[in-house]
Structure 1
Amino acid sequence: MTTPSPLLSRPGAVALALPDGGTGTVAGHYGDPLPEQRRLAEGAGLVDRSDRDVLVVPGADRLTWLHSLTSQHLERLGDATGSEALVLSPHGHVEHHVVLTDLGGTTWGDVEPGTGAALVDFLQRMRFMLRVDPALVTGEWALLSLVGPRGDQVLGAVGWPVPADPYAVAALPGGGWVRRMPAIGDGSAAVVDLLVPRAELSPRADELLAAGATLSGLDAYEALRAEARRPRAGVDSDHRTIPNELEWLRTAVHLEKGCYRGQETVARVHNLGRPPRRLVLLHLDGMSETLPTPGTPVTAGAREVGRVGTVVRHHELGVIALALVKQSVQPGTALHVGEAVAAIDPDDVPQEVDADVAAARNRVRAVRSATINR
C-alpha cells in the first residue's frame, strides 16, 4: 500500500518515520508519543497498522498446501482459528513471517509492509495443479489493532465479538474479522487485531473511539512489542537469521513436522541446542537524540558481535533495542551500538547462572546512570 491512511488526517498525526529517512503511510504518533505508550499499557489504544500487506488463499487444498510450504502444522487448522508461520529459504533462513487466519473457507495472511507481493509471487509459482488461488488484497482490506487491558471493554461496548484465546477469530458484522493475539509490553497489554474493509477504515475506527479507545501511533505499539521481545521480519532479522535464534521457534514452527523447505537446518540446530545467535533486549544510554537504525552493529571493543533491529524510546525503560548477538557474548560485557553504550537486559540471561544475572544487572545500572548523569 502506498496511499496514506485516512487516519493520518486526524489532529496531531505525524507520519511514521522510516529507517531510510522517508515517511510511512500510517501515523507514528498523534502528538504525544510517550503518553500514547501508557494508554496502550494501561487503557485501550487504537493503532493504525493498515500499512501491513494482506493476502488471501481460498480453495479446497489451501491448508494442506500451506502446510507443505511453511514451518507450521496447518493441515488441521480449524475454522475461526489462526497461527503464525514462516517461509524459509532452502538453507533455513527466514524469508517471510506471516500471521494466518482461517475463516469461512478462506485463509488470510498479514505480513510486513511491502513484502506481500513477493510472498504472493512465490505462492503462485508453487500452485501446480492444486485448488488454491492466492491473491494480494491490501487495497481492499486494512488492519487495526486494539491494544491494552481495557480493549475487551471497548469491543463489548461496540457490540463486536471478543475472542478469548490467542489466535481465536470471529467474524465482524459487515465484513472482516477480529483476532486475539499474544499480549505485548510486560504482558498486560492485550492485543486484538481487526481486519476491516479499507474503504470503511475511518468509520470503523470512529466506532471504537466513541466506545472509549484513543488513537495511538505505531511508535507506541513498537515500543511495547520490543519490550515483549516480539521480532519483526526484516527489522529484527537479517538474511542469515534462522528461526532458532528468535521466539518464532516457539510461535511459528512445529518441531515435529517435517518436509518443508529449510526444515533440515531448523531440526539440526534444535537438536544441537545452540543457535549461532540469540535475540536479546538491550538498554542503551540514550545520550544521543538520534536512535541507531536497524542493522547497526553491536560491538564489544573492536569486535562486532551482533546487530540491532528495533530501537525505540520506551516510556519506562528508556532507550531499548532488540538485538541479535553471538552466543559467546557474556552478560556483563561492555557493548556499544554506534556511539551508544549498551547492556543486555538481565531477563535475557539464563536464570540458573546467578553470577551472570548479577553482571547483567550491574551493566544495566551503569548504562542508566550514564543517562541520568549526562
Structure 2
Amino acid sequence: MSSKPPAEHYGDPFGEQRALAAGRAIVDLSDRDVVTVTGPDRLSWLDSLTSQALAQLAPGASAETLLLDPSGRIEYAARVLDDGETTWLLMDADTGAGFAAFLERMRFMLRVEVADRSAEYATIGTLGEAPAATAAPNGVPLVWVDPWSAVQAGGYQYAAGEHPAAGWSYREALVARDRLGELAGLPAAGTLALEALRIAAWRPRAGTELDERAIPHEFDWLRSAVHLAKGCYRGQETVAKVHNLGHPPRRLVLLHLDGSDNVLPAPGAEVRLGRPDAAGDVVGRVTASAIHHELGPVALALVKRSADPASELTVDADGVLVPAAQEVIVPPGAGSVAEVPRLPRLGAVRR
C-alpha cells in the first residue's frame, strides 16, 4: 500500500475478484475520508441530525447513516463506528471535508469536537478478517461491518424475494497511515474487484449512485441507513411521506449487459427503452458498471419509476448501443406502505 491512488487491479482482475469474494484478499481504499466526533454528546447529536438511530450505538457496533437536506435529498452518506470514546465516520473520497464542515456549523453549545482524520488513517476493505495492523486507539479495533447484509432495526426493504446481500460479509478497517507498509505482504485485490461484487450485491454508494436529486427510497437504502421510528431529523418529513403515501420517482435496477461488443458503459451513460435497433426514450442513467466473475458485464442504473420492468433496454456505451436486461431492485410500486397494511416492516419501535 502507498500514497498513490488505489490500484484498479494488479494484473489478474478475475482472480483478484474471486480471492476477495472468498475473504482471502484486501482492497486499498486509502483515498477515502475519515471524520471523527468526540465528546459526551456525540452520539445523541449525530442521532438528531441524520437518518439512523445512533444514540445507543454500542462500542464496536457498526451502523450507516445519511445526512439529508430539508427536502429529503441525500447530501452525505457515512459508515459509522463508535469505540466508546470516539465516533468514526468512514466516508467516500472527497466527501469527508464537506460533512465535517457541516457538523462544525451545527455544534452550537454541545459537548462535541469534529476532526477530519483522513491524513492519519487509511481505509482497507475486505470480505474476510481485518488485517492485524487495524488501529485500536481506544482499545476497540476500528472495523466497520457493513449492515447491508440484512434489514436493520427500524428499516424497511422494498426489494422482493431473496436478496443477493444475504451473504455479503464486507467490512472496512482503519489502519494508521504510518503502518500501511505492514500490509505489503498480504494478498491484494484492486478496486475493480470490489466494485463488481458491490454491484452484484445491489449495494448503493455515495461516490457512485448519488446525484443532486437522490432520495433514500430510490436505492432501497431504508434497509440499512434509515430508522423509520426514530425522532425528528432533517429531511424526515419527506422520508415518511414517500414511504407511507407516495412513490420514489426513480428506482435502482441491476442491468445484465450484452458482452458481445466487449464494452462497458461509463457512469452517466444513457439508458433507453427498447432494443438497439429500435431504441426509444431515455429512461435513466448508469451509475456504475463492472465485469463480474460469474454474472459477466453488469451495471447499476437509476431509471424512471414508470419504466416497465419487463421491457428490454439499451445502454449507450460511448456510441456503442448495448442491449440490457433489467433485474428489479426497487419495484415501481415501492412506497405507499400506509395503503398496504399487510406489508411487513422489520425492527421494533424505539422506546
Report deviation, 1:237: 2.1
Q: Which residue of 2 aligns with 1:48?
A: 28
Contact preservation (8 Å) 1:310, 1:321: yes
Instruction: Classify 1:346/1:276 alpha carbon distance in 2 versus 1 (closer, same or farther; 3 Å).
Output: closer
User: Identical aligned pairs, as a percentage?
Assistant: 49
Q: Which residue of 2 aligns with 1:28?
A: 8
Q: Which residue of 2 aligns with 1:6?
A: 2
TM-score by length of 2: 0.81
Instruction: Classify 1:56/1:189 alpha carbon distance in 2 versus 1 (closer, same or farther; 3 Å).
Output: same
TM-score by length of 1: 0.76
Report deviation, 1:186: 6.2
Contact preservation (8 Å) 1:182, 1:190: no
Whose RCO is larger (CA < 8 A, sep 6+)?
2
User: Is 2:121 the partner of 1:141?
Assistant: yes
Residue 220 of structure 2 aligns with an amino acid whose one-letter code is E
Q: Which residue of 2 aligns with 1:195?
A: 174
Instruction: Classify 1:49/1:223 alpha carbon distance in 2 versus 1 (closer, same or farther; 3 Å).
Output: same
Q: 1:286 aligns with which of 249, 259, 268?
A: 259
Q: Which residue of 2 aligns with 1:177?
A: 142
Relative to its length, the structure with more helix (as a share) is 1
Q: Deviations over 1:300-345 (max 9, x none)?
A: 1331211111111111111101111122222221211112111112
Residue 48 of structure 1 aligns with an amino acid whose one-letter code is D
Q: Which residue of 2 aligns with 1:246?
A: 219
Q: How many corresponding residue pairs?
A: 309
Q: Deviations over 1:154-193 (max 9, x none)?
A: 86xx5x89xxxxxxxx948998522333577764452232
Q: Structure 1: give runs of 5+ residues left out of the alignment.
A: 9-24, 162-169, 351-374
Q: CA RMSD in A?
A: 2.5
Q: Which residue of 1 aligns with 2:286?
A: 308
Residue 195 of structure 2 aligns with an amino acid whose one-letter code is E
Correspondences of 1:1-374 after superposition (within 5 Å): 6=2, 25-147=5-127, 151-152=128-129, 171=136, 177-182=142-147, 187-188=166-167, 190-203=169-182, 205-206=183-184, 209=186, 214-272=187-245, 274-300=247-273, 301-338=279-316, 339-345=321-327
The CA distance in 1 between the partners of 2:221 and 2:14, in whole Å, is: 28
Instruction: Classify 1:220/1:7 alpha carbon distance in 2 versus 1 (closer, same or farther; 3 Å).
Output: farther
The CA distance in 1 between the partners of 2:65 and 2:172, in whole Å, is: 17
Q: Which shows bigger deviation, 91-100 or 179-188?
A: 179-188
Report the secondary structure of 1:286's partner residue.
Answer: coil
The CA distance in 2 between the partners of 1:341 and 1:271, in whole Å, is: 35
Q: Structure 2: give runs of 5+ residues left out of the alignment.
A: 150-163, 274-278, 333-351
Q: Deviations over 1:115-134 (max 9, x none)?
A: 11111111111111111111
Report deviation, 1:272: 1.9
The CA distance in 1 between the partners of 2:23 and 2:35, in whole Å, is: 31
The CA distance in 2 between the partners of 1:246 and 1:306, in whole Å, is: 14
Contact preservation (8 Å) 1:176, 1:196: no
Q: Deviations over 1:10-39 (max 9, x none)?
A: xxxxxxxxxxxxxxx101100111111111
